[in-house]
Structure formats: C-alpha cells, structure tokens
C-alpha cells in the first residue's frame, strides 16, 4: 500500500468508526505438530491458499478455502483455511492471492513451553511484599510493595477478639490485577486452577524452571508460586472463629504508581460465606497436593486441612453472609449472592481430601457450567473427574456424563461457528478471554476422560482465539505474538518507565459493556468480539487479572501435554 492509500484507509476507518481487519488471522505463538490448525481469511475471490516456508516462496502445502460465511459475534464475512496436514516443525506463512501474508506460523514440539512458563511467571511479577530482584525479574525488577504486616481490621470485620482497628499481619499474596488489592474469592479459582494444572500435567511442570527466588528448593516452581498466595490466604482466617475476610484492601484504588509508592492504609474487610468456602475448597485441595511433599514442608498439609475444615464449619454456621461493600470502601467487590455452587465445590474438595461423606454434595442435583470467579461448580466436576477412583461405579458414570454433556455443547458451538471458534456473542463479557480459556479447560476435561479428537480441536480453536485468530488480529498475551497488547491496565507496566509491559499476562479482552474510565477513547468497533482497546484507560477490556491468567497456564500446559504426536 502506498502512503496515499494508507491515509485514505485511515480516513475511511475514522469516518465509519469500523475497524477493517484485512489480514489473515492465525495463532501467532504456534502449534504443536499434531495439533488441528486453522487460519481465518477475510472474504476473498481466491479459491485456494498456500503455506510457504517463512520469508520464501517455497510452497510446502496447498489447500482450498472454506466457503464465505458471516460470523455473528464480529459481523464479518470470513473463510477458513485448514492446514492441519502441515506437521513438520518450522516457520511458515500462509499466502492467499491478493492479501498480505499471514503473521509467521511456528510449528514445534515445544510450541507452548515458553508461553506456559511466562504465564506462570506473571504471578511472580505480581507478588506483594517482596522486591523483584534483577536476577529474577530482569528489566522489570522493582522495589517491594505492600508489606501488609500492619493491616487494620475494618469496622465491617470487627468481632469480640478483634475489635475495629486491631492490627493484624497478612503479608505476601499476589496483587489481584492491575490494582494492588488482594481478594480471597478471586484467589480461590486462581489457585485451584494452578494446582489442578500441576495435578493433571506434572511432567510439564517438573520440566519448568521459572527462575524465581525459590527455584531449585526441591518443590516444583508451580507449587512455589502457589505457596506465595496460599501463605497470604492462611493469614486471612480469623484464628478465633475460622471465618475468612473477604479482602485485604485500600479504601480506594491507588493512583498510577509503582507498588513501593502506593502507601494507602490497608484493611481486612467483612468475613463472607463465599470467602470462607472458596478458602475451604482451595485449602483442602492444597492439603491433598502438599501431602506428597511432607519432607520439604513438614506439617503444611495437615495445617491446610484443618484450616479448611474450620472455614467450612464457619460457613455452615453463617450460610448467607453475602459480601456487602461498606460505604467507605471503593475497591473491587467480587460480590456473589448465589452460594450453592461454593458449598458444592468446597464440599467436593473436603470430601476428596478426607474421604468423609458428610461433605459430599448430592451429585444428581449439581449442575455443570464453564467456571468463573462467581460460578465455581464446574471446579467441583473437574476434581470429581480427576478422582474417579474415589467414586462408586454409579457415581463415576454420573461424573463422566455431566462433563461430557457440557463438552458436547461446547463442541457443537465450535462445529456450528463460521469462524471455527465456539464463543457466542453473549460470552464476550468483562474478562472474555478467560471465558474463552475456561471453555477450553472444560473441553479438555472431557477429552481426558474420553479422548475424542474433536474435543481437543475445539479447545485448540479457543486457544488460537486468544493468541491471534480473532477479528482484531491481536495476541491477547503481553510479550507473545506478532501483535501483543502494549498498554494493559496494569499499574506496574504503566508506571515502571520500561517500554514493554510485564510479559506473560492475558488481558481481559473484547467486552461491549465498555465500563471504562470516563474519557477513554472510543473502541474501534462495538461488535462483541471486537470491542477491545489496547489502552491503559480501558480496564473493562484491557486489564490483567490472576483469575484470567490461570486458565492460560492450564490450557497451554494441557495442549502441550495432550496433543498426540503425529506418526512419522
């Protein structure tokens, strides 16, 4: 395109307010050799496509484009190119006459090793209460923020043993997101997903060395990193009654400063039923996981199990303490008034850890769904599916059937999608990229029980969606792909004076809700799958968050471990 035409293009874009994604869209990080592989091609008169060795005209594969079809979530006409037949490791480009070449397509046996390690290291970068040293953090080294050893008990959390203003200590943990607060509810699903990844794919994580301060101490780094948050969570339980504070927070959000320069007073706020149950679930799961490391961590597993049971007992006695934001607190709510899923999840984890039937929910009455921070019943099914040996024959039939029922629905969405991605318009909500990956996570659960190839293919398609096969042609992970996010709503990335953002973070993604800061520029498109803005001001589409990164860790490890190796 000459400069004149390019300007004209820009003018059209301004005039119509529409983004013209005129490129070929493809996963920009790569594929394992045996993976299903697609690219999306803008509507074109061409019939065929070619794969060439990157930077050359050497053709390695030819194929025919799928029919033109309009994909509703973006209201765009596209054609699909299936190049799954290309299984030889290397770097390629997809070529269609009349269109610019695709971004580089990388095929390698270890295609996701680096991504999965970076997605986990992102948690290290979000640690509270510790300096990030140059040897571990490179150019993103920074001073410690938030010691959290002088935290005030807020009026909403006061009780006889700890009246308002009592000073407690609850250091460590991860900052939740682009803000510097720490929330138990969101920690629940996050730690669960990381520990599940470890339980399901130990081989991937044993091979991983994150270069964090604990690396080499005899624990795998995924557990070292999870411990950073688990230690904080343990300190959020009131020893007097077993109740768990909903969050540790400032009164309002900090300015755009580095952690060390954020000096607001810190509070623990209201004990809630959701916090107690999410805590109980994760501590029971962690006690199971750390039981295998009694040598390295004597007493830890038992301590976690007893903390879990005390939180469970508190929740039984306080079954409806819904979080209500006090008037002087303005940070994230994570409020949830539907608690049966939390009860079921905590019950399943405690039952799995102890074998005690009194914890077990009635499986016949427990529905299944794609998990999120406020809907955790899917996590109960993940644990049940992983521990079929603990179940009766009849119950294990129920568990398999329920997981397969959800996966079949997700696979059907994928089959029916003209873009080859099972997301529906309604799925593009605040944090949609995590909806994408949690859908993939649930498809993978069914694949683990019954390895039908279409389940893995549908999961791969969802994974591709956040790595570049989307109508924005955008990788949604900082530091990865040809066009990654550059301005995430992440205070350290914005305030550190380092050009690239901290790597390994999944941004929230397209969200037509547009609940952004006032004055944030218009999005390039209002279409659900395109309502995204790579700007710091757009926390509704471009923030990062611990619960969103966790399925990125899980799915990248799973696809790395599960994708069958092609026959030579």
Question: Residue count at the site for ligand 9MR (CB under 6 A)?
Answer: 15
Shortest Å distance, C-beta 23 to ligand 9MR: 29
418 touching ligand 9MR, by CB under 6 A: no
Shortest Å distance, C-beta 255 to ligand 9MR: 7
In the set 25, 221, 342, 534, the catalytic residue is 534
Whether 108 and 30 have beta carbons less than 8 Å apart is answered as yes
Which one, 403 or 466, has the nearer CB to ligand 9MR? 466
In the set 146, 246, 489, 490, the catalytic residue is 489
Shortest Å distance, C-beta 492 to ligand 9MR: 12
Shortest Å distance, C-beta 543 to ligand 9MR: 4
431 touching ligand 9MR, by CB under 6 A: yes
Which one, 431 or 509, has the nearer CB to ligand 9MR? 431
Rama region for 330: left / alpha / beta (φ>0; ψ in -120 to 50; rest): alpha
Instruction: Count Cα atoms within 13 angstroms, Cβ side, for 63.
Output: 21
Give the angle 500-504-507 at the CA atoms, nearest 5°: 85
Which one, 148 or 179, has the nearer CB to ligand 9MR? 179
Shortest Å distance, C-beta 514 to ligand 9MR: 12
Q: Which span sits near ligand 9MR by CB under 6 A: 233-241, 280-288, 351-359, 537-545?
A: 537-545
Shortest Å distance, C-beta 524 to ligand 9MR: 21
Which one, 38 or 539, has the nearer CB to ligand 9MR? 539
127 token code pair = 């640690």
In the set 241, 341, 418, 543, the catalytic residue is 543
In the set 25, 176, 179, 375, the catalytic residue is 179
Main-chain dihedrals φ then ψ at residue 267, nearest 5 degrees: -135, 150
3-state DSSP helix/strand/coil % of the chain, to nearest 5: 40, 10, 45
Has 543 been annotated as catalytic? yes
Whether 231 and 321 have beta carbons less than 8 Å apart is answered as no
Shortest Å distance, C-beta 164 to ligand 9MR: 24
Has 534 been annotated as catalytic? yes
Which one, 171 or 509, has the nearer CB to ligand 9MR? 509
409 token code pair = 């629905």
In DSSP notation, 242-269 reads --BEEEEE-SS---S--GGG-----EEE
Which one, 88 or 517, has the nearer CB to ligand 9MR? 517
Residue 408 neighbours by CB under 8 Å, 6+ apart: 446
Helices 393-416 and 432-449: angle between axes, nearest 10 degrees: 130
In DSSP notation, 102-167 reads PPPEEE-TTTTHHHHHHHHHHHHHTBSSS-B-HHHHGGG-B------SSEEEPGGG--SSS-TT-E
Has 489 been annotated as catalytic? yes
Subset of residues 157 to 186 that bind ligand 9MR, contact rule: CB under 6 A: 176-179
Shortest Å distance, C-beta 333 to ligand 9MR: 6
Shortest Å distance, C-beta 412 to ligand 9MR: 26
Subset of residues 277 to 296 that bind ligand 9MR, contact rule: CB under 6 A: none
Distances (CA, A) of 322 to 57, 274, 310, 328, 536: 62, 7, 19, 18, 32
The residue within the footprint of ligand 9MR, chosen from 446, 529, 545, 562 (CB under 6 A), is 545
Number of residue whose CB is nearest ligand 9MR: 332
Instruction: Count Cα atoms within 13 angstroms, Cβ side, for 566.
Output: 16
430 touching ligand 9MR, by CB under 6 A: yes
Subset of residues 346 to 405 that bind ligand 9MR, contact rule: CB under 6 A: none
User: Is the C-alpha dihedral spanning 171, 173, 176, 179 positive or negative?
Assistant: positive
Subset of residues 72 to 131 that bind ligand 9MR, contact rule: CB under 6 A: none
Rama region for 316: left / alpha / beta (φ>0; ψ in -120 to 50; rest): alpha
Using the structure block, give the residue that is written with the tokens 């119509």: 16
Which one, 293 or 430, has the nearer CB to ligand 9MR? 430
Helices 393-416 and 453-466: angle between axes, nearest 10 degrees: 50
Subset of residues 316 to 355 that bind ligand 9MR, contact rule: CB under 6 A: 332-334
Which one, 63 or 333, has the nearer CB to ligand 9MR? 333
Shortest Å distance, C-beta 553 to ligand 9MR: 17
Q: Please give the Cα distance from 452 to 458 (Å, whole number).
A: 11
* Among candidate residues 300, 298, 297, the one with its CA nearest the CA of residue 283: 300
Which one, 545 or 550, has the nearer CB to ligand 9MR? 545
Binding mask 11-50 for ligand 9MR (x = CB under 6 A): ----------------------------------------
Which one, 464 or 543, has the nearer CB to ligand 9MR? 543
Distances (CA, A) of 77 to 68, 357, 417, 439, 532: 6, 53, 12, 24, 19
Has 321 been annotated as catalytic? no
Give the angle 504-247-259 at the CA atoms, nearest 5°: 50
517 touching ligand 9MR, by CB under 6 A: yes
520 touching ligand 9MR, by CB under 6 A: no
253 touching ligand 9MR, by CB under 6 A: yes
259 touching ligand 9MR, by CB under 6 A: no
The residue within the footprint of ligand 9MR, chosen from 314, 359, 539, 554 (CB under 6 A), is 539
Residues found near ligand 9MR in the complex (CB under 6 A): 176-179, 253, 256, 332-334, 430-431, 517, 539, 543, 545
Looking at the annotation, which residues are catalytic? 179, 489, 534, 543
């Amino acid at each position: 395109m000459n400069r004149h035409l390019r300007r004209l293009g820009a003018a059209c874009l301004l005039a119509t307010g529409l983004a013209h994604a005129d490129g070929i869209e493809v996963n920009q990080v790569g594929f394992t050799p045996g993976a299903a592989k697609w690219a999306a091609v803008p509507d074109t008169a061409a019939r065929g496509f070619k794969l060439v060795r990157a930077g050359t005209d050497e053709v390695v594969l030819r194929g025919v484009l799928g029919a033109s079809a309009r994909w509703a979530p973006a209201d765009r006409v596209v054609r699909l190119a299936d190049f799954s037949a290309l299984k030889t490791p290397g770097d390629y480009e997809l070529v269609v006459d009349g269109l610019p070449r695709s971004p580089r397509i990388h095929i390698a046996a270890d295609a996701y090793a680096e991504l999965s390690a970076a997605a986990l290291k992102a948690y290290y970068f979000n640690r509270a209460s510790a300096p990030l040293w140059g040897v571990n953090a490179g150019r993103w080294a920074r001073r410690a923020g938030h010691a959290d050893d002088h935290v005030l008990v807020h009026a909403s959390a006061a009780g006889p043993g700890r009246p308002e203003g009592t000073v407690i200590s609850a250091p460590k943990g991860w900052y939740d997101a682009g803000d510097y607060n720490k929330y138990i509810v969101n920690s629940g699903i996050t730690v669960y997903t990381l520990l599940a990844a470890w339980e399901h794919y130990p081989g991937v994580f044993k091979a991983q060395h994150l270069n964090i301060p604990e690396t080499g101490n005899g624990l795998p780094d995924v557990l070292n990193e999870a411990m950073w948050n688990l230690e904080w969570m343990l300190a959020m339980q009131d020893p007097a009654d077993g109740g768990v504070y909903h969050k540790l927070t400032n009164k309002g959000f900090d300015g755009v400063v580095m952690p060390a320069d954020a000096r607001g007073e810190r509070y623990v706020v209201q004990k809630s039923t959701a916090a107690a149950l999410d805590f109980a679930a994760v501590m029971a799961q962690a006690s199971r996981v750390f039981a295998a490391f009694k040598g390295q961590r004597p007493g830890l597993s038992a301590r976690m199990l007893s903390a879990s049971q005390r939180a469970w007992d508190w929740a039984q006695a306080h079954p409806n303490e819904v979080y209500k934001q006090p008037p002087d607190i303005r940070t994230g709510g994570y409020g949830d008034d539907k608690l049966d899923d939390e009860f079921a999840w905590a019950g399943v984890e405690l039952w799995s850890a102890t074998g005690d039937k009194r914890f077990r929910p009635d499986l016949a009455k427990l529905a299944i769904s794609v998990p999120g921070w406020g809907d955790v019943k899917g996590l109960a099914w993940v644990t049940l599916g992983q521990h079929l040996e603990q179940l009766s024959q009849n119950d294990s039939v129920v568990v398999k059937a329920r997981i397969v029922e959800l996966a079949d629905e997700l696979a059907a969405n994928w089959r029916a999608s003209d873009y080859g991605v099972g997301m529906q318009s309604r799925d593009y909500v605040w944090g949609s990229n995590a909806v994408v990956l949690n859908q993939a996570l649930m498809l993978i659960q069914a694949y683990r029980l019954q390895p039908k190839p279409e389940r893995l293919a549908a999961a791969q398609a969802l994974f591709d969606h956040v790595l570049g096969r989307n109508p924005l042609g955008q990788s949604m992970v900082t530091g990865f792909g040809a066009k990654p996010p550059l301005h995430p709503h992440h205070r350290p990335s914005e305030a550190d004076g380092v050009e690239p953002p901290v790597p390994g973070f999944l941004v929230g993604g397209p969200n037509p809700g547009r609940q952004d800061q006032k004055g944030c520029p218009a999005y390039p498109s209002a279409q659900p799958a395109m309502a995204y803005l790579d700007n710091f001001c757009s926390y509704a589409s471009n923030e990062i968050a611990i619960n969103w990164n966790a399925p990125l860790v899980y799915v990248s490890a799973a696809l790395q471990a599960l994708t069958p190796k092609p026959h030579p």
